[in-house]
């Protein structure tokens, strides 16, 4: 797993080994409506988003809520709201409480009432306003927790 240097150059404040590796918002059909990765992807975004939606659907069938899974040395944390799944991948050294805090911050910047007014809800996640807010939350997180990764 290598760090995506083009994203680091875009914002030089992000550490060379960021604690937050990828963040994706998936709709329940399995479509990624927002995705940011800070590593060179080995994983197909479409495959990962479909897998995430399937895992959430499966956990709901079992009567529980999926919170976290670990794959290839990365912890993936999930939070759902209505038709959307927030998924963040982080190094295991980042505590679960920090991952939950990150997901809560993202959850809070989504204007869920405004989202209901969109005919194609996926376009909400491409608005400049949303993207600026989420990029700031990501940057703040990367800087705050960079000490965890050496």
Q: What is the pLDDT along the chain (150 residues), one digit of tens a residue?
A: 444 434 433 445 555 667 788 899 999 899 999 998 887 766 788 888 999 999 999 999 999 999 999 988 899 999 999 889 999 999 888 889 999 999 999 999 999 998 888 888 889 999 999 999 999 999 888 888 777 655
**How far is residue 128 CA from its own chain's centroid?**
18
| Residues forming beta bridges with residue 78, ordered by sequence position | 87
What is the structure's pLDDT at 46? Answer: 86
Six token digits for residue 137: 């939350």
pLDDT of residue 17: 66
> What CA–CA distance (Å, rounded) separates 21 from 32?
16
d(CA 79, CA 1): 25
Pick the CATH number of 5-143 from 1.10.10.10, 1.10.150.120, 3.40.50.300, 3.30.450.70: 3.30.450.70
Q: What token pair was written down for 56? A: 């959430």
* pTM for the full predicted model: 0.83
Q: Where are the domains of the chain?
A: 5-143
Three-class SS state of 92: coil
- HSE, CB side, 13 Å, CA atoms: give it for residue 146: 13
Q: State the angle between helix axes of 96-109 and 128-144 in degrees (0 to 180), rounded to the nearest 10.
A: 160
Tokens at 68, concatenated = 């976290």
Q: How far is CA 99 from the centre of its chain?
A: 10
Based on DSSP, count helices (H) and strands (E) in the chain, helices before strands: 5, 5
Six token digits for residue 91: 């190094």
């Amino acid at each position: 797993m290598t760090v995506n240097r083009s994203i680091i150059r875009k914002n030089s404040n992000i550490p060379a080994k960021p604690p937050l590796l990828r963040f994706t918002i998936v709709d329940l059909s399995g479509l990624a409506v927002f995705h940011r990765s800070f590593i060179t992807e080995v994983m197909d975004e479409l495959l990962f988003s479909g897998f995430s939606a399937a895992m959430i659907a499966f956990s709901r069938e079992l009567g529980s809520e999926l919170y976290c899974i670990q794959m290839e040395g990365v912890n993936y944390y999930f939070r759902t709201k209505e038709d959307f799944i927030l998924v963040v991948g982080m190094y295991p050294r980042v505590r679960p409480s920090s991952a939950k805090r990150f997901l809560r911050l993202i959850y809070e910047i989504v204007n869920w009432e405004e989202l209901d007014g969109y005919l194609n809800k996926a376009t909400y996640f491409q608005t400049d306003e949303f993207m600026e807010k989420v990029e700031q939350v990501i940057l703040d997180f990367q800087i705050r927790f960079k000490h965890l990764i050496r």
